[in-house]
Amino acid sequence: MKQEIENRLIKFSVRTYELTGKINKNEYSSYLSNQLLRSATSAALNYGEAQGAETTKDFIHKIGVVIKELRESRINLKILNESLLCQDQERLDSLIQENDELLAIFYSTLKTARAKLAS
């Protein structure tokens, strides 16, 4: 399961990179594209950090960072969607869906970890 989630995050990062090549370039879209790349790749990188957490509390913190980065990516994707800057609507919709699914997984992971810490 851990490897599957890691692979999904990596693919999400790569697909996000590919999407940025389909965005009409201007100062606004360049800012959004760069920020999206940072948050999408950060989610994957921080998940890697979470796998090496030394304590449950540390794991909870790092999963919280993954969620934060995915939430930022989600808002950015929605801004791109609303601004009609992307030339590949299908890819954009697919990334929004994948982001939502990943968020659901990590919210569940966080809930389980917090319950473990409380017991």
What is the C-alpha separation between 21 and 76, in angstroms, rounded?
15
* Domain parsing of the chain, residue ranges: 2-118
Does position 1 have pLDDT exceeding 80, yes or no? Answer: no
* Residue 116 structure tokens: 């473990």
Mean pLDDT of the chain: 95
pLDDT per position as a tens digit, 13-38: 999 999 999 898 899 999 999 999 99
Protein fold of 2-118: de novo design (two linked rop proteins) (1.20.1440)
| Full-model pTM | 0.94
* Residue 23 structure tokens: 């965005």
Does position 87 have pLDDT exceeding 90, yes or no? Answer: no
